[in-house]
Amino acid sequence: MQAPDDLRAALNGLLDGLPPTRAAQAVDRLIAAYRGATPTDAPILRDASDVAAYAAYRMPATYAAFRSALAEFQARAGAWAPATHLDVGGGTGAATWAVADAWRQDAHASTVLDWSEAALTLGRELAAGADSAAVRDAEWRRAPLGGAVRLPESDLVTVSYVLGELDAAARVSVVAEAARAALGAVVIVEPGTPDGYARVIAARDQLLGAGYTVLAPCPHDLACPMEGTDWCHFAARVNRSSLHRQIKGGSLPYEDEKFSYVAAARFPAEPAAGRVVRHPQIRKGQVLLDLCTRDDGLSRGIITKKRHGDLYRAARDADWGDTWPPPAES
Ligand SMILES: C[S@@+](CC[C@H](N)C(=O)[O-])C[C@H]1O[C@@H](n2cnc3c(N)ncnc32)[C@H](O)[C@@H]1O
């Protein structure tokens, strides 16, 4: 789920010409702003250098997380495809690029809404070099989100890493509006932290209350069985750019972006019977799978070489976040 080559090329060019220490300072400022109190009364992404830092440093990760969530949604949504897409709090457009990659026919029109003019400007510039016509032709519109927000109706509404920047009341009204405005589906992604998960669960409750069916990650529309100190989240691997290595140090060529998400639809479709909710543990002759299941809530599957044959081979290939049983057997 790496960002496509055209997006990576555009992002790599962003900090060209900036001395590495200036680029690192811009990212440090941004991280400090995000650690401060949110919501804020004005955009955190205030000017071109904030936005360039955000795009270079965070967009590959938000893209990867959102694209992973879309892949799980698509696996359940069959042939459904959006003709119109609304990217709420879309910033520099990570979710818009991910939607275009997921439905490559370019048969949809995307609209990006955000209150940061600087983010929209950079988003538009990045989009101009996209291979995808849907990204190139996206409309970038300034719009503050909050109580009185009225969203245009669209087949697919995406809300990527936005709810955490809104106060509780704005969060409820934005999710309610997303649920009203979406003609087909809503996909919401938040950071994979306990707080991000709590926001996703609250949004999931709202979507269920509005008559949606959750297609991913949950295998059911019941209450989430994760309790106490546990929270449902997944990981998307992101290649580290030289900027990342410079800022975070360390030698790993990648990092894992943790995210929580909910993808829900108005149209008839079935969630999977189960989903792998932890890294599978591979032992000698057996694989332990921690699963969230439609019928038994949280449970552990022990798949052995001796008893399960082909299923054991599939279990060895299974990944955190995959559906289970594997698609051919669901
Ligand atoms: C963390 S960024 C996520 C951007 C993009 N969706 C992504 O996934 O990379 C949060 C975005 O929400 C926007 N945002 C935050 N509060 C907002 C508000 N009250 N009205 C409109 N946009 C808002 C910010 O300007 C920013 O672009």
**Domain, as residue range, for 80:** 5-265
Q: Which atom of ligand 1 is nearest to the CA of 34?
A: 1
Query: Which residues lie closer than 8 Å to 37 by C-beta, 6 or more apart?
Result: none
Q: Is the CB of 285 under 6 A from ligand 1?
A: no
Which residues of the chain are modeled with pLDDT < 70? 17, 36-37, 246-250, 329-330
Q: Which atom of ligand 1 is nearest to the CA of 90?
A: 6
Residue 148 sits in a domain whose CATH number is 3.40.50.150
Question: Which secondary structure element, helix H or strand E, spans residue 183, and what is its range?
Answer: strand 182-191
DSSP 2: P
Query: Does 191 lie in the same domain as 322?
Result: no
Q: Is the CB of 59 under 6 A from ligand 1?
A: yes
Q: What is the pLDDT of residues 155-197, one digit of tens each?
A: 999 999 999 999 999 999 999 999 999 999 999 999 999 999 9
Query: Does 320 lie in the same domain as 261?
Result: no
pLDDT at 28: 83
CA–centroid distance, residue 275 to ligand 1 (Å): 29
Query: Does 51 lie in the same domain as 152?
Result: yes
Pocket test for ligand 1, best of 86, 124, 162 (most atoms within 8 A of CB): 162
Query: Does 46 lie in the same domain as 93?
Result: yes
pLDDT at 210: 98
Q: Is the CB of 196 under 6 A from ligand 1?
A: no
Q: CA–CA separation, 300 vs 285, rounded Å?
A: 16
Domain final residue, candidates 242, 265, 288: 265
pLDDT at 22: 74
pLDDT at 151: 97
Distance of CA 87 to the CA centre of its chain: 12
Query: Does 230 lie in the same domain as 290?
Result: no
Query: Does 312 lie in the same domain as 217?
Result: no
Q: Is the CB of 320 under 6 A from ligand 1?
A: no
Selection from 56, 2, 60, 63 nearest residue 25 by Cα: 56
Query: Does 324 lie in the same domain as 209?
Result: no
Q: Is the CB of 119 under 6 A from ligand 1?
A: yes
Query: Which residues lie closer than 8 Å to 308 by C-beta, 6 or more apart?
Result: 315
CA–centroid distance, residue 119 to ligand 1 (Å): 9
- Give me the amino acid identity at 153: E
Pocket test for ligand 1, best of 11, 51, 114 (most atoms within 8 A of CB): 114
Q: Is the CB of 160 under 6 A from ligand 1?
A: yes
Domain count of the chain? 2
Domain final residue, candidates 231, 265, 299: 265
Query: Does 192 lie in the same domain as 82?
Result: yes
